Structure 1
Amino acid sequence: MLKTRVVTAVVLLAVLLPVTLFAPVSAFGALIALVVVLAAWEWARLLKFEGVGAVAYAVLAALALGASLRLGTGWRAVRPLLEAAAVFWVLVGPFVLLRKPVLSQGAWRLFLSVAGLVAFVACWHALVVARTLGVSFVLSVLLVVWLADIGAYFAGKAFGKHKLAPAISPGKTWEGAVGGWLAVLVIASVAIAAHLFEPTLFSTLGTKVGWLRAFVVLTVLVAFSIVGDLFESMLKRQAGVKDSSGLLPGHGGVLDRIDALLPVLPLAMLLIG
């Protein structure tokens, strides 16, 4: 299993890093579009659309993304879409985690089918807008989620005692969440103080709103990275599966890798907008 995870990670990095670092924005957008469509297919499967239904949903996501390009890819053009996605994550995400409705039946299934299209298309646009601001900027946005995840893992292993959401994801702890949050704030502090790799999300926040408010914004982003992660965990638990798919051997599915990014990306771009 470890060998499979390593091989998959190396292949993914060999594809994603050069495109992110060196390719034009159009190539970056094309790659992210593929990621988004695959994630949409997995989302449909978690909502118990089987076979052709899940494929049709993925095709619909691709068509929705194509249609959204008519709006343009600039900040002003995509802001309403980002706001719609943000409203979903801020209002519906916590409600679902608290009330735990059955998501793959009835009105919830229909609602999440529509909301999923908005979330995936908004995720694509947020990443493309971030990439137009610079490679260092888009990497810094991704770094918030990566640091929160890595920090939570190690802090949870070392100090985890109090379960964060035992009915949804028993492995997550409050101590881990705090560790991830601290990891983000420490790196952000260093980046802002040392003016590293500017422009970044950290330097932009520091310039626009000051250190204190920048830390508040980063706290919000870390919190919603957890919401995105738990939301997908709940979908998987209700669907009776461990991973969203087996597309990434040793790592599960595409949605497993981007679940925390779905709320963070539109929120980050709106909060600096």
Structure 2
Amino acid sequence: MLKTRVITAIVLLAVFLPVTLFAPVGAFGALIAFVLVFAAWEWARLLKVGGVGPVVYALVAAVALVASTRLGTEVHPPRSLLQAAAVFWVLAGPYVLLRKPALAQGAWRLFLFLAGIVVFVACWHALVAARAKGVPFVLSLLLVVWLADIGAYFAGKAFGRHKLAPAISPGKTWEGAVGGWLAVVIVASAAIVLHAFEPTLYSALLGRLGAVRTLVVLTVLVVFSVVGDLFESLLKRQAGVKDSSGLLPGHGGVLDRIDALLPVLPLAMLLLG
């Protein structure tokens, strides 16, 4: 399993790093669109759509994405689209985690079909807009989620005692969540003090909002990275599966890799103003 994980990670890095670092924004946007179409396919499967339904849903997501922009040339995301995605995560996300409704049934299923299209298209626009601001900016934005996840893992292993959401993801702890937040704050502070690789998300927030509100925004982003992670965990638990798919050997599916990014990306671009 470890060998498979490593090989998959190397292949993914070999594809994503050169495109992110050196390719034009249009090529980056095309790659992200390709990834998100597969994420939409997994979303439909987790909502227990059978037959060719997931493929049809993925195609609808692809058409919606292309219709929402001139691929690769539109780098100013529609604010209303980011707001719609943000409203979903801010209102529906916590509600679902607290009440745990049956997501693949009735009105909730229909709602998530529609919301999923908005979420994936908004994610694309936010990520492409971030890349248009520069490689350091988009990497610093992604680093918020990566650091929150890595910090939570190690802090949880070392200090985890109190379960965060035992009915959804038994391995997550409050101590881990705090550790992830500290990792983000420490790295962001270091990047600001050292003026490293600017412009970054952190320097942009500091210049626009000041130190205190920058800390608040980073805290909000870390919180919603956890919300995104737990939301997908609940979907998987209700669907009776461990991974969103087997597309990425050793790593699960696309949604397993981007679940925390889905709320963070539109929220970050909105909060930046």
TM-score by length of 1: 0.98
In structure 2, the partner of 1:122 is 122
In structure 1, the partner of 2:272 is 272
Q: Distance in 2 between matches of 1:70 and 1:128?
A: 12
How many residues are matched?
Answer: 272
CA contact (8 A) 2:153 2:176 kept: yes
Superposed counterparts of 1:196-215, under 5 Å:
196-215=196-215
Code of the aligned partner of 1:6? V
Q: Distance in 2 between matches of 1:66 and 1:24?
A: 18
1:188-217 deviations in Å (ceiling 9; x for gaps): 000111111000000001111111110100
Code of the aligned partner of 2:240? G
1:35 and 2:35 equivalent? yes
How far off is 1:111 after superposition? 0.1
Superposed counterparts of 1:72-151, under 5 Å:
73-75=74-76, 78-151=78-151
In structure 1, the partner of 2:168 is 168
How far off is 1:70 after superposition? 5.5
1:206-258 deviations in Å (ceiling 9; x for gaps): 11111111010000000000000000000000000000000000000000000
User: Gaps (5+ residues) in structure 1?
Assistant: none
Q: Distance in 2 between matches of 1:249 and 1:86?
A: 31
Q: Which runs of 4+ in 1 moved over 2 A?
A: 70-75
Q: Distance in 1 between matches of 2:30 and 2:254?
A: 16
Q: Distance in 2 between matches of 1:199 and 1:70?
A: 26
The secondary structure found in structure 1 opposite 2:69 is helix
- The answer to which of 248-257 and 46-55 deviates more is 46-55
Code of the aligned partner of 1:157? K
In structure 1, the partner of 2:249 is 249
Code of the aligned partner of 1:213? R
The secondary structure found in structure 1 opposite 2:164 is strand
How far off is 1:58 after superposition? 0.3
Q: Distance in 2 between matches of 1:13 and 1:70?
A: 27
Q: Distance in 1 between matches of 2:51 and 2:216?
A: 43
How far off is 1:78 after superposition? 1.1
The secondary structure found in structure 2 opposite 1:69 is coil
CA RMSD of aligned residues (A): 1.0
1:136-177 deviations in Å (ceiling 9; x for gaps): 000000000000000000000000000000000000000000
In structure 2, the partner of 1:191 is 191
Q: Distance in 1 between matches of 2:154 and 2:212?
A: 26
CA contact (8 A) 2:152 2:175 kept: yes
Q: Distance in 1 between matches of 2:263 and 2:188?
A: 20
TM-score by length of 2: 0.98
1:25 and 2:19 equivalent? no
In structure 2, the partner of 1:260 is 260
Q: Distance in 2 between matches of 1:81 and 1:67?
A: 13
Code of the aligned partner of 2:16? L
Superposed counterparts of 1:59-70, under 5 Å:
59-69=59-69
Q: Distance in 2 between matches of 1:74 and 1:241?
A: 36
Code of the aligned partner of 1:142? L
In structure 1, the partner of 2:179 is 179
Q: Distance in 2 between matches of 1:100 and 1:192?
A: 39
Q: Distance in 1 between matches of 2:183 and 2:69?
A: 36
Code of the aligned partner of 1:267? L
Q: Distance in 1 between matches of 2:45 and 2:93?
A: 19
User: Gaps (5+ residues) in structure 2?
Assistant: none
Q: Distance in 2 between matches of 1:155 and 1:37?
A: 34
How far off is 1:14 after superposition? 0.2
The secondary structure found in structure 2 opposite 1:44 is helix
